[in-house]
Structure 1
Amino acid sequence: MGESTVLTEDRGPVRIVTLNRPERRNAIDLVLRVELAEVLESASGDAGVRVVVLTGAGRAFCSGGDISTMRRMRPEEAVPRVEAANRVIRAIWNSEKPVVAAVEGAAFGAGVSLAAACDRVVASEEAVFGTAFTGVGLAGDMGLFSSLPARVGPAVAKQLMLLPRRLSGVQARGLGLVDETVPAGTTLDRAIADAEQIATAPPLALREMKQLWRRWAADPSDVLGFEAQAQARLFDTADFAEGIEAFHAKRAPQFRGH
């Protein structure tokens, strides 16, 4: 049996959760999304954990969904796949513990969604962010339509999704997608230091803060359902199949709207 796709380490009250597919730049496959959700849910229920730090092994935070596992499928087949990913986001949003993202290297597609869902995002100045979903004929999921507007505002979020471009960590901080930037290679240390400071706050107050944030605007959980339905419909399109084929062929996709 291979090594787990998600590793955990406790440093006092801080639980470090590491996406562990460095050979795939921590792309999210079906196994990883299940293991990550279970790990985050476990951290939420562990009285010894005050704060969670989420990071990636190797040179990337998360390069998005694992395209090698994607194919055209009927919506009813796609819904469980998308919901498994959304379970990860629910685990972050519904957790009683603050979650700090430590982003080194690439955060593309679902990697942006994953980081944006966290309560604090610390990134390398040289990190690279990009929504990327439309490149394979998809709209976006894992809470992107709630987390991204909440961080950068609705107008900027639309532009980042309509005209996907790669942002450096510094550019992402300027837009509000990132809360703090640090030199490359120091992101995890800074995130842990921040988490240790957060961990000195009263646990009950932190729990109430997390619950209040969920009620701050319209219930973001509604967005997850709508995203899942939209992504499932898009999984059964010729454009999605073309996006996957073009990705593997390393060519520009030709989308035709069917």
Structure 2
Amino acid sequence: MVTLNRPEVRNALSRRMLRDLIGVLVEAEGCQETGAIVLTGAGPGFCSGDDLSEAASTDAATFDQSIGLLQRLTRTLLDLKKPSIAAINGAAMGGGLELTLACDLRVAAQRAVFACPEVAWGLVVTNGASVLLPAIVGHGRARDMVLTGRTFDAAWALAAGLVGEVLPDDRLLDRAMALAEGMASRSQAVRLTRRLFDDAGKEAIVNALAREAEAVGRARRGPAGEKGLRDFAARRSGEGTGR
């Protein structure tokens, strides 16, 4: 099990954390004893997204590097030969939600909530969300999430197909581990089946990542993006809320 472990900022994704996560996933991929990977968050939240307070203190070029790392993490998840499960134990916001889209399965705790709040900060989605999100929930729901920035609860996520199951908070990890063990026990069939899905959509995802990186960089350099990051930094009061 891989745990996002910055609970003091709702597991916001700093550059260091992104590098660490990529390394852990690569290590898990090479471990013969690991048959599947469960991704969850420490504390009451899953992941609040990019660490925007870090982004607000950097220049545009460094921001671009952070987006590159975030997309590299997504590509690492998508390229895994082993199945992955997002055990969404709380809020999955922005980049945190996008991270779950790269997993094979998503299960959520009853307290989980979901949002794409990028527009509130003058930014746009990245991490393949423009392809992965509508493929999972449909174009109408995806546009609702991305264009309004609204927050949706676990019941909505289940009805929309964003998650496959919603469980009591204290049963989430047990269920995720059971799913992982089940897939690991059928590793060859699971691997071959995943390849059928992945090969069909790989080109679209690669193209989406490139378009999104360019779009979010342009948004970051624009007046709305600059103001959004400044406003975020000014509002932060000890709790992290990400893109």
Shared fold by TM > 0.5? yes
Higher relative contact order (CA 8 A, sep 6+): 2
2:195 to 211, 221, 240: 211
| TM-score normalised by the chain length of structure 2 | 0.91
| TM-score normalised by the chain length of structure 1 | 0.86
**Cα offset, 1:189, TM superposition:** 1.4
Whose helix proportion is higher, 1 or 2?
Answer: 2
Partner of 2:109: 124
Residues 195-210 of structure 1 correspond to what in structure 2 (within 5 A)? 195-201=180-186, 203-210=187-194
Between the aligned partners of 1:207 and 1:151, the Cα distance in structure 2 is 20
Between the aligned partners of 1:91 and 1:146, the Cα distance in structure 2 is 17
Q: Which of structure 1's runs of 4+ aligned residues deviate more than 3 A?
A: 248-251
Partner of 2:8: 23
Between the aligned partners of 1:226 and 1:41, the Cα distance in structure 2 is 26
Partner of 1:11: none
Q: What SS does the corresponding residue of 1:100 show, helix, strand or coil?
A: strand
Residues 23-172 of structure 1 correspond to what in structure 2 (within 5 A)? 23-71=8-56, 73-74=59-60, 76-172=61-157
**Cα offset, 1:218, TM superposition:** 5.8
**Cα offset, 1:80, TM superposition:** 2.0
Partner of 1:191: 176
Unaligned runs of 5+ in 2: 237-243
The percentage of counterpart residues that share the same residue type is 36
Change over 3 Å in CA distance of 1:150–1:197 after alignment to 2: same
Q: Do the aligned residues in 1 keep the contact of 2:3 with 2:42 (CA within 8 Å)?
A: yes
**Cα offset, 1:155, TM superposition:** 2.1
**Cα offset, 1:245, TM superposition:** 2.1
Q: What SS does the corresponding residue of 1:185 show, helix, strand or coil?
A: helix
Unaligned runs of 5+ in 1: 1-15, 252-258
Q: Do the aligned residues in 2 keep the contact of 1:73 with 1:235 (CA within 8 Å)?
A: no
Between the aligned partners of 2:52 and 2:63, the Cα distance in structure 1 is 14
Q: Do the aligned residues in 1 keep the contact of 2:55 with 2:63 (CA within 8 Å)?
A: no
